[in-house]
């Protein structure tokens, strides 16, 4: 498969070219268009229980869609629901990424996806919920974000602090602790940051330039209240 | 040998996401062969003596080997179980202790995480159990706050509504018999806040019910079914105690939910009428719970005893009602009968001192005759 990001920026779309017989999995509802040679199937990744746990636990979609070039080569257009950038990663079989639940857009069929329970503190305060996706295997992985995607490279033992609602994906070789943004409880909340994640390298952290929860709170004030 | 990478190597000039590499352990040290960094196939040999061992990664589940080589600091992240085992086999004695320490740390993290989740799950369980019991407590508190006058108003409107559609027996032996029974029972209630009102309704339905506030309805069907006045008195005593224990209110408040209960406890009780309309709770369709039935049974038995009415009539009537029978036994549908109930009452009665009952002033056979039941043939 070959992928290309069209219209990079706020409203991108990704074009994936598939050779005959090749297939990819994508978040359900992500397909925008496809060649007539492509078949769309829905598939419960990891079996029924796996899909159920992913749906219940991470809030991810119950079904992934499988796009298969069953009648010859073709292309697929995919786009996320929210405005924001798309990033394409190549997994080499040893690299694994933890991805927050809305971050997955599509991946090669050889990419494995499982939901994973976080530690209690991370789940409670980390901003991504108690369950996240662990994505490994080999092949192309396509992630999307809310806003622009920014990549932070961390050398061994190098640290970086990220607001907890801005995380998209991070290497499994990094680790992070949740801590208050300021030393005092009051200052932590009045500064508007609350909790932050202190990442420690080595590895890569992808963050998004907008906070979905913050955006939701902002837009709520403009929604007329019906009687 | 396969050349697919089995570890990630980090270093100053290597990519931040780690360079995939192939690690092999030998007798003296390890060999790292880079798979994708140029020049591809570049290898580094590291003696065991240069290595330091630790754990790393998000879940502390990766083995980290660090050393300082010609190109600065290097860190190798291993998560493949076979590879970690192979390291353990070939590593010299000096690395065993640090390796065990690292493994212990990884286990500790896992154990701690499991324990935290266990504690959280336990706390959730305890909390929900507490809410369950606390809910009952809140209901009891809410019921306590509702004044009897208001309860009376509520019951009265339902009572008048019901009677308006019924054929009432206004006078006669049946009415005076029921009134006598009620008077004798009510006299024995200390600090009675209710003004009990009993109406006999002409209907073949075998039933009797009590509304909050002290409004009691007895159907002639039930009276015809009873072979002795004590049996009807037993049912009456049971119904009176539903009122006294405020079972109807408890059910209403429970049906309305905790929020309503809380608003009654902490706010105004007058809102309950509105709430009831809103939730469509109909007083007439309220059923009592098993615990409430047992409570009304036992307190009913005690009341009969105090009124010097033979309680065995109540028990035998319950038993007869629970046997399979023809007719519309509606009292059973709102007061589900079970063998255990009668048994329990029998045991309770046996524990009480012997009672010398005071008979009623009326003849039950005459009362029944007035309802259309022929007098039993003299033997």
Is residue B195 assigned to a domain?
Answer: yes
Interface test with A, best of B17, B80, B108, B115 (most A CBs within 10 A): B17
Residue A147 DSSP one-character state: B
* Of residues B18, B56, B117, nearest to A120 (C-beta): B117
**B73 pLDDT more than 70:** yes
How does residue A210 score in pLDDT terms, banded at 50, 70 and 90?
A: very high
Across the interface, whether the CB atoms of A95 and B60 are under 8 A apart is answered no
Lowest-pLDDT range, A118-122, A204-208, B281-285, B362-366?
Answer: B281-285
How much is the ipTM here? 0.79
Indicate the SS3 state at residue B315: helix
Across the interface, whether the CB atoms of A172 and B58 are under 8 A apart is answered yes
Specify the length of chain A in residues: 227
A window 40-99, beta carbon within 8 A of B: 92-96, 98
Lowest-pLDDT range, A179-183, B5-9, B26-30, B106-110?
Answer: A179-183
Beta strands in chain B (DSSP E): 7-11, 19-25, 29-34, 43-47, 52-56, 62-69, 72-78, 168-169, 197-201, 208-211, 215-219
Q: A122 — phi, psi (to 5°)?
A: -65, -40
- Measured between CA atoms, the residue of chain B closest to residue A206 is B17
Of B109, B125, B157, the position where a domain reaches its end is B109
Alpha carbon of A206: minimum distance to chain B alpha carbons (Å):
11
B204 and B70, same domain (yes or no): no
Is residue B188 assigned to a domain?
Answer: yes
Q: B27 — phi, psi (to 5°)?
A: -70, -35
**B1 pLDDT more than 50:** no
Instruction: List the one residue out of B86, B48, B84 whose CA is nearest residue B67.
Output: B48
Interface test with B, best of A202, A205, A207 (most B CBs within 10 A): A202
Which residues are registered as beta bridge partners of A84?
A: A147
Across the interface, whether the CB atoms of B58 and A120 are under 8 A apart is answered no
Across the interface, whether the CB atoms of A92 and B5 are under 8 A apart is answered yes
Chain B residues touching A99 at Cβ < 8 A: none
B329 and B234, same domain (yes or no): yes
Lowest-pLDDT range, A35-49, B9-23, B46-60, B353-367?
Answer: A35-49
Alpha carbon of A198: minimum distance to chain B alpha carbons (Å):
12
Q: How many CB atoms lie within 10 A of CB A56?
A: 12
Q: Tokens 């798309």 map to which residue? A: A86
Parse chain A into domains and list their residue ranges: 2-220
- Measured between CA atoms, the residue of chain A closest to residue B109 is A119
Could you tell me the residue range of the domain that residue B31 belongs to? 7-109
B105 and B252, same domain (yes or no): no
B166 and B248, same domain (yes or no): yes
CATH class of this structure's domain A2-220: alpha beta
**CATH code for the domain in which residue B14 is found:** 2.30.29
Residue A64 DSSP one-character state: E
- Cβ(A90)–Cβ(A49) under 8 Å? no
What pLDDT sits at residue B275?
A: 59
Domain count, chain B: 2
Task: Name the interface residues of B facing A (CB cutoff 8 Å).
Answer: 4-8, 10-12, 15-18, 20, 35-36, 56-60, 62, 66, 73, 75, 77, 79, 113, 116-117, 120
Lowest-pLDDT range, A182-191, B26-35, B54-63?
Answer: A182-191
Q: Tokens 């390796």 map to which residue? A: B99
Across the interface, whether the CB atoms of B8 and A117 are under 8 A apart is answered no
B226 and B326, same domain (yes or no): yes
B97 and B218, same domain (yes or no): no
Is residue B177 assigned to a domain?
Answer: yes
Across the interface, whether the CB atoms of B16 and A170 are under 8 A apart is answered no
Instruction: List the one residue out of A10, A183, A208, A170 whose CA is nearest residue B16.
Output: A170
Alpha carbon of A218: minimum distance to chain B alpha carbons (Å):
30
B99 and B184, same domain (yes or no): no
Alpha carbon of B47: minimum distance to chain A alpha carbons (Å):
21
B182 and B83, same domain (yes or no): no
B221 and B344, same domain (yes or no): yes
- Measured between CA atoms, the residue of chain B closest to residue A119 is B113
Indicate the SS3 state at residue A127: coil
B190 and B270, same domain (yes or no): yes
How does residue B347 score in pLDDT terms, banded at 50, 70 and 90?
A: confident
Q: Report, as an integer, the average pLDDT of B244-267.
A: 72
Is residue B173 assigned to a domain?
Answer: yes
Is residue B94 assigned to a domain?
Answer: yes
B102 and B220, same domain (yes or no): no
**A227 pLDDT more than 60:** no
Which token pair is B108? Answer: 């500790």
Which token pair is A86? Answer: 């798309």
Beta strands in A110-182 (DSSP E): 111-117, 131-144, 149-154, 159-163, 167-171, 175-180
Interface test with A, best of B58, B68, B120 (most A CBs within 10 A): B58
Is residue B282 assigned to a domain?
Answer: yes
B93 and B158, same domain (yes or no): no
């Amino acid at each position: 498969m070959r992928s290309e990001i069209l219209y990079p920026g706020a409203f991108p779309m990704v074009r994936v070219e598939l050779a005959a017989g090749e297939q990819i999995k994508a978040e359900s509802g992500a397909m925008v268009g496809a060649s007539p040679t492509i078949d769309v199937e829905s598939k419960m990744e990891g079996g029924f229980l796996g899909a159920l746990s992913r749906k219940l636990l991470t809030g991810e979609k119950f079904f992934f869609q499988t796009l298969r070039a069953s009648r010859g080569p073709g292309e697929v257009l995919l786009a996320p629901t929210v405005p924001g950038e798309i990033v394409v990663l190549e997994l080499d079989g040893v690299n694994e990424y933890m991805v927050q639940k809305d971050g997955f857009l599509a991946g090669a069929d050889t990419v494995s996806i499982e939901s994973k329970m976080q530690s209690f503190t991370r789940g409670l305060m980390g901003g991504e919920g108690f369950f996240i996706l662990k994505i490994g295997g080999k092949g192309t992985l396509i992630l999307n974000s809310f806003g622009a995607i920014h990549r932070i490279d961390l050398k061994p033992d190098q640290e970086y602090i990220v607001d907890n609602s801005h995380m998209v994906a991070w290497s499994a070789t990094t680790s992070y602790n949740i801590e208050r943004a300021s030393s005092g409880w009051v200052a932590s909340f009045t500064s508007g940051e609350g909790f932050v994640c202190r990442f420690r390298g080595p590895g890569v952290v992808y963050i998004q330039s907008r906070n979905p929860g913050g955006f939701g709170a902002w837009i709520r004030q403009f929604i007329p209240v019906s009687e | 040998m396969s050349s697919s990478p089995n570890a990630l190597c980090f270093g100053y000039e290597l990519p931040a996401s780690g360079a995939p590499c192939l690690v092999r352990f030998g007798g003296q040290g390890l060999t790292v062969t880079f798979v994708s960094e140029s020049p591809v196939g570049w290898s580094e040999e590291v003696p065991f003596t240069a290595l330091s061992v630790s754990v790393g990664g998000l879940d502390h589940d990766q083995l980290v080997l660090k050393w300082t080589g010609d190109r600065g600091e290097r860190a190798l992240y291993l998560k493949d179980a076979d590879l970690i085992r192979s390291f353990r086999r070939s590593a010299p004695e000096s690395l065993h202790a640090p390796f065990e320490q690292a493994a212990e740390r990884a286990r500790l993290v896992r154990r701690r995480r499991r324990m935290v989740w266990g504690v959280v799950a336990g706390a959730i369980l305890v909390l929900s159990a507490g809410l369950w019991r606390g809910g009952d407590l809140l209901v009891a508190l809410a019921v306590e706050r509702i004044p009897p006058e208001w309860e009376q108003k509520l019951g009265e409107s339902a009572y008048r509504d019901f009677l308006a559609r019924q054929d009432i027996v206004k006078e006669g032996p049946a009415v005076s018999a029921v009134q006598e029974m009620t008077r004798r029972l009510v006299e024995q209630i200390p600090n009675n806040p209710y003004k009990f009102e009993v109406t006999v309704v002409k209907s073949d339905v075998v039933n009797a019910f009590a509304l909050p506030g002290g409004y009691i309805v007895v159907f002639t069907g039930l009276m015809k079914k009873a072979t002795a006045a004590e049996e009807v008195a037993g049912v009456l005593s049971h119904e009176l105690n539903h009122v006294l224990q405020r079972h109807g209110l408890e059910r209403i408040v429970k049906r309305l939910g905790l929020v309503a209960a809380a608003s009654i406890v902490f706010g105004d009780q007058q809102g309950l009428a509105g709430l009831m309309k809103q939730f469509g709770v109909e007083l007439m369709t309220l059923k009592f719970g098993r615990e409430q039935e047992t409570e009304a049974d036992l307190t009913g038995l005690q009341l009969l005893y105090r009124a010097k009415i033979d309680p065995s009539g109540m028990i035998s009537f319950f038993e007869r009602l629970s046997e399979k029978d023809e007719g519309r036994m509606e009292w059973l549908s709102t007061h589900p009968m079970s063998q255990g109930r009668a048994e329990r009452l029998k045991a309770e009665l046996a524990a009480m001192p012997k009672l010398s009952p005071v008979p009623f002033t009326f003849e039950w056979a005459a009362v029944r005759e007035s309802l259309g039941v022929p007098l039993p043939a003299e033997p």
